[in-house]
A and B are shown apart, each in its own frame.
Chain A
Amino acid sequence: AQSVTQPDIHITVSEGASLELRCNYSYGATPYLFWYVQSPGQGLQLLLKYFSGDTLVQGIKGFEAEFKRSQSSFNLRKPSVHWSDAAEYFCAVRNYGQNFVFGPGTRLSVLP
């Protein structure tokens, strides 16, 4: 069965600092990979996705993620965090015909 781990439950960074959120998945083949963001009291918004091609993908709000097959990872990065980035971030995987599996989430706090 597919599984997704996000090792960091909570991360705090200062505004303007760089950010990397970790995501590892367990699956036999290359799955489709996603990062979603959930602001407090809101629904989920898609940040970016990977399904083939260039392993470095760009998303909205200045985020990017890199797929590393050898490490089964899909880490999310941002070079300079803004206070409005404080939210919960979810990594998710899916293959056609399979369940959509989410990680437990990483809560990001941003210090002024």
Chain B
Amino acid sequence: EAQVTQNPRYLITVTGKKLTVTCSQNMNHEYMSWYRQDPGLGLRQIYYSMNVEVTDKGDVPEGYKVSRKEKRNFPLILESPSPNQTSLYFCASSLRDRAPYEQYFGPGTRLTVT
């Protein structure tokens, strides 16, 4: 089954404790992206990657890191989480070179930073 998976689905952590949220897709998509969803703000893009070893900032990259060492994986790293990073996070993937580039989303990771 074609899908995007994220782990963990729920995470409660404390300020400053480094964490990684994993994302993996099995559709051989070049493009992968991370979003955060906050009430009234919709989804805002954090980082995206057009291919292996190619990443770029989205609209809200501060406090986040990403890496793309393999085509299927795109982990999101919070080196020193803060309470304002409490949010619902989605990973997504799509083809890069074939319009219309619709994205397929993972199930989401709900992060709480205390």
A and B held together in a complex: yes
User: Which size bracket describes the interface of B in this complex?
Assistant: 20 to 34
How many Å from the CB of B104 to the closest CB on chain A?
Answer: 8
On whether the beta carbons of B101 and A96 are closer than 8 Å, the reply is yes
Bound complex: CA of A15 vs CA of B32, how far in Å?
37
Residues of B within 8 A of A96 (CB): 99, 101
Residues of B within 8 A of A83 (CB): none
On whether the beta carbons of B105 and A43 are closer than 8 Å, the reply is yes
Residues of B within 8 A of A34 (CB): 100, 102-103
29 A-B residue pairings within 8 Å (CB atoms): A9-B40, A32-B99, A32-B101, A32-B102, A34-B100, A34-B103, A42-B107, A43-B90, A43-B105, A43-B106, A43-B108, A44-B43, A46-B103, A49-B102, A50-B100, A51-B99, A90-B42, A94-B100, A94-B101, A96-B99, A99-B45, A100-B33, A100-B45, A100-B48, A102-B43, A102-B44, A103-B42, A104-B41, A105-B42
Contact surface of A with B, Cβ cutoff 8 Å:
9, 32, 34, 36, 42-46, 49-52, 90, 92, 94, 96-97, 99-105
Provide the B38-77 mask, 1 if CB < 8 A to any CB of A, else 0.
Answer: 0011111100101000000011000000000000000000
Residue of B with least CB distance to A46: B102
Contact surface of B with A, Cβ cutoff 8 Å:
33, 35, 40-45, 48, 50, 58-59, 90, 92, 99-108
Max count, chain B CB within 10 A of own CB: residue among A43, A45, A46: A43
How many Å from the CB of A43 to the closest CB on chain B?
Answer: 5
Bound complex: CA of A92 vs CA of B94, how far in Å?
14
On whether the beta carbons of A44 and B90 are closer than 8 Å, the reply is yes
Residues of A within 8 A of B99 (CB): 32, 51-52, 96
Residues of A within 8 A of B101 (CB): 32, 94, 96, 100
On whether the beta carbons of A32 and B90 are closer than 8 Å, the reply is no
Residues of A within 8 A of B35 (CB): 102
